[in-house]
Chain A
Amino acid sequence: MKVSISINDEKVSREIEPRQLLVHFIRDTEGLTGTHWGCDTSNCGACVVHMDGKPVKSCTILAAMCEGHEIHTVESLEVDGQLDPVQQGFHEQHALQCGFCTPGMMMTARALLNENPDPTDHEIRTAISGGICRCTGYMNIVSAIRWAAEHEAAAAKQEV
């Protein structure tokens, strides 16, 4: 079957198998390997992308269901050489080690901050609790997201 999906603001039309998972479409058909796969059961969150601005686990969605929808992946976070504050925060706060969960964690964090620019630590922990990180123990991920929130707030103030 044929689907037309907007991926990272670029509209693509592809012939796909109806059963193809979105994560496979992103990785194999589009070659965007920043989105990872880590389980088969929607538990790990390594595959989180944005669908129309909302975080979704792309292993739980068929590519066919994305007809006409907008998908954003980790590759869209950096714009014109400018890192997203979430990306910067992950680096500054040492919120990644092996890096495998990082794209999913960052996309989850980005969605959280879009909805809630000043989350509490508990809100951050709740937001990322759909994901698994085996390396960091989460503490620095929480710090990174808080860092991003604070720096976005500072940047917003400067703009005003």
Chain B
Amino acid sequence: MAVVEQNLPGPETERPIGFGRLKRKEDARFIRGEGTYLDDIRLPGMVYGAVLRSPYAHARIVSIDTSKALAHPNVAAVVTAKDLETLGLAWMPTISYDTQAVLAGDKVRFQGQEVAFVIATDEYSANDALTLIDVEYDPLPAVVNARKALDPDAPLIRDDKIGQRDNLASPTWEAGDEAATDAAFAEADTVVVRDIIYPRCHPAPLETCGIIADFNPQTGQLDIYNGNQAPHAHRTVYAHVAGLAEHMIRIMCNDIGGGFGNKVPVYPGYVCAIAGSIVAGVPVKWVENRTENLTSTGFARDYIMHSEICAKDGRITGLRADVLADHGAFDSTAQPTKFPAGFFHIVCGSYDLKASHVKVKAVYTNKAPGGVAYRCSFRITEAVYLVERMVEALAVEMGVDPIDLRMNSFIAPEQFPYETTTGWTYDSGNYAETMRVAMGIAGYEELRREQLEKRKRGELMGIGISFFTEGVGAGPRKHMDILGLAMNDGADLRVHPSGKAVVSISSQPQGQGHETTFAQIVAEELGIPPEDVEVRAGDTDKSPYGLGTYGSRSTPVSGAAVAVVSRKVRDKARMIAATMLETRPEDLAWEKGRWFVKGDPEKGAMIEEIAQRAYSGEPMPADMEGGLDAQVIYDPPNLTYPYGAYIAVVDIDPDTAAVTVRRFIAVDDCGVRINPMVVEGQIHGGLAEGVGIALMELISFDEEGNCLNSSFMDYLIPTALECPDFELGETVTPCPHHPLGAKGVGESPNVGSPPAIVNAVIDALHETHGVDHIDMPCTPARVWAAMQGRPEPPQ
């Protein structure tokens, strides 16, 4: 394993050369309204697409009549499945080796499914024309409940798949040791059983999805403007799907108004726009509206979990989980190929268990496809939610403080690297210390006293704990790929003769601040001021191949690539400096930005001088080419395992059951922090999403499959009034195998916060109302029902 260099931040300065609280470079354009988001781009001759969507969740398509729409003076074309069939584009592969209809031909399988694509001279006309298309449907019974989907008489959703006779989307997948887990339960002194639902929710980035496809019939070049999280992987997929030459496809992402996993997949609208541009020979733009975003693009979660947890002698010893995963009508859940349930089997959490066993079964329902992460590394959120709810329930059953039970059961610092009972190798951690820091910030003992006093007065106050461990930074090519593509990332660093540099990366920022933090990595490693380092991403013609940004993988993989490529440049600079200083490379020592002669520190060469030399007419070291640049593809040796201790304090109005998150304490250990300001910003944002998921965000359906949360009127997102001032703390346990010791943090707050809030809600109600479980979201109506002793699972 590589040795971590001492890269801890130096003293806090306004303009650090390297790590520290550097203000963001990208702000300059955004605060002036000069960002370039997809819908801001207008190309000459561009036409506009709109998608006709199914009003039914399940129906046979009897006929589609497009004649009236075609007669609209501003309509150029109306595309249906029949037209796509002739191009071989009626179906497309999903990221989990299933197929998905680009436009429905035989039948529709969820409400909002794509049925036709209109191309018109302007957006208003395109939408007008949608109303002129006559589709005759023959409605079929719909199934939106994953359990009912497995009934023998349930309607068959995927009759397009040869040999498919039920609604199972995958064989049962298992991890862990069943027999050892049975043994742990047999000798346990306490066992707790719960049925827990992590309901369907949606990443809902503020910018919806969209594309401009610009095919040049003369050259065969296809330019795609599309804010997506993995442009290189998208290009490869388009090459395979559309049969286009990969080197003639260029994807440009520009600025992206948030992704959170929603912008990982390829959507039918993208394929329609590309097909439209190829056929029409003009640029075709399609931008979905908010309802389309919420009802048809990648949802998150929808896990129905049965779980048992056990303890012996005051320690947690075993865990079982049996999960039904609702994947919707097409299985386009995002996960590495060999992990059909993503990383759900990290469900043993932060605890030194004797054994655990996990089973996951996936089903089709008449709901939108997806199963993408919502700021989560492949189902880790579901796993963390489950284990942290179970641990809390176990503590209640045992009559012990939930923090004490955790403290008794944590993996100890000296046990790292630690092999979990489901096969993960955690890299590093000091869990108890992080928990203690959180307790200190919260004033935990005082909070418990306050709670007791309030309870006497009839006030409902709850304290909820969550301690999570995530596995992020996918991933090592020996273990994981997506659609056969290794989950590695490239970096290409060019130091110009003036000493200023450009670093091109394959990860794809959507607000994470790569332009700043990745410049800081180069600055830290080479001593070039971050303002002199330009970070390029988001254009497949100008960046090396790699798998993009999701699963908190930017810093763990792409950030490591930038560190390694910087060190390669530094090594080359050393050789050149030795020639310049007429000494041997091994006689030189490095200080930030300069190689100097050991024992004669006055004699040295700055990185700028070395760069100038590398491009000059002066001699280079023997067998060395001119120039000062390097390229790498980074293959991480392991995932990184950030973790954190979260404490939520909630108040519940006894008369209305409204939950207020009064305080939220988050102590994250994400290893070394490159830019603490950016890290803290990411934590704030993820915590707000966690507040939303715990209290209000829900995608639900009625029995007929009508989506009940198809706009921001019904899909509730927390505003400034629902979010508290978050109280952050940190511990730093460097990752031993990451060149910077960093672990990644983007998703941690979203992963860790929902169980803390739900645990707090239950903690507030357990003593007084006997509530021992409530499913999210904890809306007033649902909390009220639980207080009356009739809690209901979300539909």
Q: Give residues in A with beta carbon < 8 Å to B.
A: 17, 19-20, 24, 27, 32-41, 43-44, 46, 73-75, 77-78, 83, 87-88, 90-92, 94, 96-103, 106, 121, 124-126, 128-142
Question: Which residue from B29, B123, B685, B711 sits with its C-beta under 8 Å from A40?
Answer: B711
| Interface-located stretch among B59-67, B106-114, B714-722 | B714-722
- When the two chains form their complex, are residues A137 and B206 in contact, meaning their CB atoms are under 8 A apart? no
- When the two chains form their complex, are residues A128 and B720 in contact, meaning their CB atoms are under 8 A apart? yes
- Is B257 an interface position by the 8 A CB rule? yes
8 A-B interface contacts by CB (under 8 A):
A77-B33, A99-B31, A100-B257, A100-B258, A135-B681, A139-B723, A140-B684, A142-B725
- Is B590 an interface position by the 8 A CB rule? no
Q: Which residues of B contact A94 (CB under 8 A)?
A: 23-24, 677-678, 680-681
Q: Which residues of A contact B541 (CB under 8 A)?
A: none
Q: Which residues of A contact B123 (CB under 8 A)?
A: 24
Q: How far is the CB of B512 from chain A (nearest CB, A)?
A: 7
- Is B635 an interface position by the 8 A CB rule? no
Q: Which residues of A contact B308 (CB under 8 A)?
A: none
Question: Which residue from A27, A74, A98, A140 sits with its C-beta under 8 Å from B258?
Answer: A98
- When the two chains form their complex, are residues B124 and A73 in contact, meaning their CB atoms are under 8 A apart? no
- When the two chains form their complex, are residues B712 and A43 in contact, meaning their CB atoms are under 8 A apart? yes
Q: How far is the CA of A63 from the CA of B291 in the complex (A)?
A: 23
- When the two chains form their complex, are residues A75 and B258 in contact, meaning their CB atoms are under 8 A apart? no
Q: How far is the CB of B452 from chain A (nearest CB, A)?
A: 29
- When the two chains form their complex, are residues B27 and A96 in contact, meaning their CB atoms are under 8 A apart? yes
- When the two chains form their complex, are residues A91 and B24 in contact, meaning their CB atoms are under 8 A apart? yes
Q: Which residues of A contact B789 (CB under 8 A)?
A: none
Q: How far is the CA of A37 from the CA of B32 in the complex (A)?
A: 16
Q: How far is the CA of A129 from the CA of B718 in the complex (A)?
A: 9
Instruction: Using CB atoms, name the residue of chain A closest to B256.
Output: A98
Q: How far is the CB of A27 from chain B (nearest CB, A)?
A: 8
Q: How far is the CA of A158 from the CA of B723 in the complex (A)?
A: 36
Do most interface residues of chain A lie in helix, strand or loop, or is the interface mixed? loop
Q: Give residues in B with beta carbon < 8 Å to A.
A: 23-24, 26-37, 39-40, 123-124, 204-208, 255-258, 260, 289-291, 510-513, 677-678, 680-689, 711-713, 717, 719-721, 723, 725-726
- When the two chains form their complex, are residues B711 and A41 in contact, meaning their CB atoms are under 8 A apart? yes
Question: Which residue from B23, B39, B206 sits with its C-beta under 8 Å from A134?
Answer: B206
Q: Which residues of A contact B688 (CB under 8 A)?
A: 133-134, 136-138
Q: How far is the CA of A97 from the CA of B677 in the complex (A)?
A: 11
Instruction: Using CB atoms, name the residue of chain A closest to B28.
Output: A91
Q: Which residues of B contact A138 (CB under 8 A)?
A: 684, 688, 719-720, 723
- When the two chains form their complex, are residues A92 and B23 in contact, meaning their CB atoms are under 8 A apart? yes
Instruction: Using CB atoms, name the residue of chain A closest to B680.
Output: A94
- When the two chains form their complex, are residues A38 and B32 in contact, meaning their CB atoms are under 8 A apart? no
Q: A91-B24, A97-B681 are in contact. Are A17 and B207 (CB under 8 A)?
A: no
- When the two chains form their complex, are residues A36 and B207 in contact, meaning their CB atoms are under 8 A apart? yes
- When the two chains form their complex, are residues B712 and A90 in contact, meaning their CB atoms are under 8 A apart? no
Q: Which residues of B contact A73 (CB under 8 A)?
A: 33
- When the two chains form their complex, are residues A44 and B712 in contact, meaning their CB atoms are under 8 A apart? yes
Q: Which residues of A contact B289 (CB under 8 A)?
A: 40
Instruction: Using CB atoms, name the residue of chain A closest to B291.
Output: A40
Apart from A43-B712, A90-B27, 18 more pairs, CB < 8 Å: A24-B123, A33-B40, A36-B206, A38-B290, A39-B290, A43-B717, A44-B206, A75-B33, A83-B31, A91-B23, A91-B24, A91-B27, A94-B24, A99-B31, A125-B721, A136-B681, A138-B723, A140-B681
